[in-house]
Amino acid sequence: MNEHPRGIHDLGGLDAGAIDRTEHQNDFWEQRVDALMRALGSLEPPLVRTDELRRAVEGLGAEAYDKLTYYERWIQAIVNVLLEKGAITVDELGAKIAAVEAREA
């Protein structure tokens, strides 16, 4: 049997503790992240595919994966894919973040 290193996301067969199965309403920003992923995936051709999102989430690294919440992982992964594809630049992203922060101040 070939052994392979586990990714931080691979919990199959491990004792991960109890799962909180209570329903909850997603925060507004979480709904927006979900809508963004759906919109990017609905383009022809899709700008971010589900498999790309998964690869990017799994590639965040153990520290980020453990620290971030579910939708925080999604938005970081979406940004990483868009940067990889050249759909946005770091400068454009930084300018937009600065504009939003100024608007919120």
For 55-74, write each residue's pLDDT tens digit. 999 999 888 988 999 999 99
- Split at pLDDT 50, 70, 90, the class of 7 is low
Q: What is the pLDDT of residue 22?
A: 81
Q: Mean per-residue pLDDT for 92-97?
A: 96
Asked if residue 19 belongs to a domain, the reply is no
Q: What is the pLDDT of residue 80?
A: 97
Q: What is the pLDDT of residue 16?
A: 66
Asked if residue 16 belongs to a domain, the reply is no
Asked if residue 23 belongs to a domain, the reply is no
C-alpha to C-alpha distance for 72 and 74, rounded to whole angstroms? 5
Q: Are 62 and 8 in contact (CB under 8 A)?
A: yes
Domain span including residue 64: 28-104
C-alpha to C-alpha distance for 49 and 74, rounded to whole angstroms? 12
Q: Are 37 and 74 in contact (CB under 8 A)?
A: yes
Instruction: Report which of residues 66 and 32 the model is more confident about.
Output: 32
Asked if residue 15 belongs to a domain, the reply is no
pTM beyond 0.95: the answer is no
3-state SS, residue 34: helix
Over residues 77-94, the pLDDT tens digits come to 999 999 999 999 999 999
Q: Is the dihedral of CA 30, 35, 40, 46 positive or negative?
A: positive
Q: How many domains does the chain have?
A: 1
- Split at pLDDT 50, 70, 90, the class of 1 is very low
Asked if residue 14 belongs to a domain, the reply is no
Asked if residue 10 belongs to a domain, the reply is no
Question: Looking at residue 85, which CATH number applies to its domain?
Answer: 1.10.472.20
